[in-house]
Chain A
Amino acid sequence: MSYPDIIFNNLLIVALGGAFLTYLLGKVSQNVRNGFAIFISSVLVLMVAGLHGYGKELVYARFFDHPLILRINNLSWLFAITITVLSTMSIIFSLSYMKDKTRLGLYYMMMLLVSTSMLGIVMSGDLISFYVFWEIMSWSIFVLVSYNKGPALAAGLKYIIISLAGSLCMLVGILSIYGNFGTFDISQIAGFIASAPRGYIVFILIMFCIAFGIKNGLMPLHVWVPSAYTESPSPFTALLSGMLAKMGTFGFLMIFYIMLGSRIFLYLGQGRLSFHYILCLLAGITIVIPNFIAVFQDDAKKLLAWSSIGQCGYIILGIAFGTSLGLAGGIFHFFNHAIFKALLFLAVGAVEFRTGGVRDLNSLGGLANKMPVTFIATLVGACGLIGIPLTNGFVSKWLIYKTLILNGSPFLAFAALIGTWGSLLAIYKLLHNMFLGQLSEKHKNIKSAPFSMRLPMVILCAVTIIFGILPGLGLNIINSIGISLGFESLGVNLWGIASETGTLNTINIFAAIIVLVFIVYIIFRTGGKSVLVSQDNSYAAGAYVPADKYHYTVDFYNPFYTMVKPWLKDRIDQFYVWIGKISEKLAEFVRRMYTGDLGNYVIYIMLFLAVLICVQLIWRPW
């Protein structure tokens, strides 16, 4: 057996065993447990890294007659490496963030269990393993979301109810597939499904898409996202937004391009009424509306949560659009979003940690000089989110825009481009209200974030910028994924994409910006001298500037808000609440039937039999 074989065979055992061992070690010593959690997650990173370019299938158990399969290919590898890296980052971040909290053994075990279940999902080769790991993940998320109790419990309940509805839909789909084809093996199903009727395929797709759409926060299935992201502990939010929601993306990729294949998926229905185009439209809506709702949020994490929903729209748009550029853009944006959104959540977590849990954007300000590393992290993350050139977000968005324009969907391209302005307004508000402007008196003595928080932020910053300047690092793998899924190859090199209509060359842009900043700096230095003054020493047109916080942050976009306020009603959430109320009433009605009187039950049975007899007499179904 070669090394990759050994690694592959033992990967999940190490992950699962590590999770439980972490819990047990917590009974011995806190420090040993924390050290071990970091150790085991780093080991997982190394193990997954060792599997680069490796492909294999492994039957690890049997469920009655059906083999349970683990397999790895380039797509699984890309997801697996992102999972392990991000989970290591958030566990390192947790060291100081969670220091004063209770039930830490449970927390670290669940963090590791979540990444184990994600590894399981991306490596399952059959639908049973997929579903089992999916459920482990869903329930672990519930435990971690409601970790803080109080409002977090409500958020967790909302999440788990919606998530269960999705899981049930998926279960219906899986059982229906089994009933028709008699197998759970994904590659076998791919062979059978080509001859299935189109209507049946659409039914299966809708069932799976509900489950994956809920995890991914696709509109109108996104309602659990804002509260769950806001209330969960920040290091976990980074993982939740960065990776866990992206399991929906993996699911989409699996069912569209592995189980169905692009030949079937892209030709379900006709023209604008085809399945993939309708999904693109939903993705377009998911880009525009949440990105603009984010603009009006005052809670830092809620702002990022809405923005996450919006960014997932780009990913699904790219994947569902179904061109090789779009697929590459979608997958690359998944990776990039995982990195920069985790970075942003960690940065907000660091501010939350140092200010004693303040997330309200109206009461912060001027922290840039006090927490420089956190500020730079937020800035880099923000640039990635907006898609400023030289950050990774730009490259993936460029790919998606380009394919939308050249393949004749200018309206979807408009949705994607204007969504960027929503995220620009929202993220600038976050940046300005937290780090710029005047520092308030009570934050005068704030210290910089501790090392265990700065380290993950710096690493993620570096990844954001490196993949922006040398996108080929990621695009090479993504290109090979595209080829293995039956798409044509892109002309990828280390610093961009070459093609006949419009080439992207990030090295040129990088060099130009560096040289020009240098030249401008030289010119700047030759000018007259400048004196550094304090924040209170500013020009207020003759008016007196109070010493504390005299600063325009509350209602930052007020003129815009008053304009659009009449249209801002969360009808989707109201709709789900309405469904909840209806089912509650129904349950109440059903409960009343159980009177506890034996006579009533006998009458029910008699009535039921009478109905059955009538049915038999009239239609004779049996």
Chain B
Amino acid sequence: MGVAGFILSPVIGFVIGIFFMGLFRIIMARIHWRYGPPLYQPVIDIIKLFLQKSVSHGVIFELGLLLSLAGSVVTLLFIPIGNICPLNISGGLLVVLYLMLLAPIGIALSGGSGSNPNISIGISRKMLLALSYEVPFLLIVLTLMFYYRTISLVNLVHFQRASSWGIVSLPLAGIAYFLILPAMLGIRPFDMVEAPQEISSGLKVEYSGKFLALYYIEHAFRRFIVIALFVNLFLGGAGEPFTFLLKMVIVFVLGVFINAVFPRFRIEQAIRFNWTWPTILALAGLIITYIWGGYG
């Protein structure tokens, strides 16, 4: 793909991420027996917010947000979308794991300097939630990397396309990943980080105008990355972007269904949940893989 990938990849991420936001609202509305906003409502919202006057809390407040958005887009450059993967030779899945930290750290810095108690509570919850889902997530990722004996995301996709999908070869890890997917996406029952009724939306309470717009865009990218990673790791990726995006939409819609029917967990409940079933499944998957040996 060459240079075109560097432009194509963020554009796809942006468009699909925003599309997911619209889709999310429509599906939720239909489940609630409402009509819901039009699909392009998030676009209108973002443009409107972008042009509005806003309130800033200083340099760190602004730079942190910029860093987090840039971090999300950089992460996207490492993730294959079908055959588009501009930075596929620069370190593999381990780099992705660490680049995925840039966005939350940027947001946490920006929010932290917002000096609002609600933000601090939101960050504390975000960190703990991340810790709780990282335990099974790392086990899952290690299972895959150990099974296929590679740390390259592109190779993982190649191997799956050559044999069978990850979810067939490693069913326990796949199920565990699906169980923590709502937590990684930050949707119910794991939306305590942004609980609007308790801590006035937590992390984003001080964002207004263009800050809020950038936050939404970052959020869209982050959702895209999490789902894209799932498709690449367990649903065999794809040879070209279209199939890939189709798989992503299916996963996302399943996630929205979960979101629609569950009430919110408290943070302790979330930690306890993530450290029981997903962790047990992921650990069992890793132990089985460890005993039976790897692929090929």
Task: State whether A504 touches B95 (Cβ < 8 A).
Answer: yes
Task: State whether B271 touches A560 (Cβ < 8 A).
Answer: yes
Is B32 engaged at the interface, CB distance under 8 Å to the other chain?
no
Within 8 A of B (CB), among A403-421: 405-406, 408, 410-411, 413-414, 417-418, 421
Is B67 engaged at the interface, CB distance under 8 Å to the other chain?
yes
Of the listed stretches B130-138, B157-165, B176-184, B241-249, chain A binds B130-138
Minimal beta-carbon separation of B56 from chain A (angstroms)? 4
Contacts of B131 in A (CB 8 A): 421, 425, 560
* Residues A531 and B60 in contact in the complex (CB < 8 Å), given A410-B290, A557-B127: no
Minimal beta-carbon separation of B180 from chain A (angstroms)? 14
Is A202 engaged at the interface, CB distance under 8 Å to the other chain?
no
Number of interface residues of B (CB under 8 A): 79
Minimal beta-carbon separation of B274 from chain A (angstroms)? 12
The closest CB in chain B to the CB of A376 belongs to B60
Contacts of B266 in A (CB 8 A): 559
* A-B interface contact total, Cβ < 8 Å: 222
B127 in complex: contacting residue of A425, A513, A519, CB < 8 Å: A425
Minimal beta-carbon separation of A519 from chain B (angstroms)? 8
* Residues A527 and B90 in contact in the complex (CB < 8 Å), given A410-B146, A436-B60: no
The docked-state distance in angstroms from the alpha carbon of A553 to that of B123 is 11
Summarize B's interface: helix, strand, loop or mixed.
helix
Task: State whether B205 touches A368 (Cβ < 8 A).
Answer: no
Is B37 engaged at the interface, CB distance under 8 Å to the other chain?
no
Contacts of B95 in A (CB 8 A): 389, 398, 504, 509
Contacts of A520 in B (CB 8 A): 66, 69-70, 73, 214
The docked-state distance in angstroms from the alpha carbon of A537 to that of B155 is 51
Q: 1/0 per position for B49-66, CB-CB distance to A under 8 A?
A: 011111111101010001
Task: State whether B56 touches A531 (Cβ < 8 A).
Answer: yes
Task: State whether B56 touches A539 (Cβ < 8 A).
Answer: no
Contacts of B209 in A (CB 8 A): 527-528, 530
Contacts of A556 in B (CB 8 A): 120, 124
Minimal beta-carbon separation of A326 from chain B (angstroms)? 14
Q: 1/0 per position for B264-285, CB-CB distance to A under 8 A?
A: 0011100110000000000000
Task: State whether A517 touches B70 (Cβ < 8 A).
Answer: yes
Is A540 engaged at the interface, CB distance under 8 Å to the other chain?
yes
A516 in complex: contacting residue of B53, B54, B73, B152, CB < 8 Å: B73
Taking Cβ atoms with an 8 Å cutoff, the residues of A that contact B are 366, 368-369, 375, 379, 383, 386-389, 394, 398, 401-402, 405-406, 408, 410-411, 413-414, 417-418, 421, 424-425, 428, 431-432, 436-439, 496, 501-505, 508-509, 512-513, 516-517, 519-521, 523-524, 527-533, 535, 537-541, 545, 550-553, 556-560, 562-563
Taking Cβ atoms with an 8 Å cutoff, the residues of B that contact A are 50-58, 60, 62, 66-67, 69-71, 73-74, 77, 87, 89-92, 94-95, 97-99, 101-102, 105, 108-109, 112-118, 120-121, 123-125, 127-128, 130-131, 134-135, 138-139, 142-143, 145-146, 149-152, 155, 200, 205-206, 209-211, 213-214, 266-268, 271-272, 286, 289-290
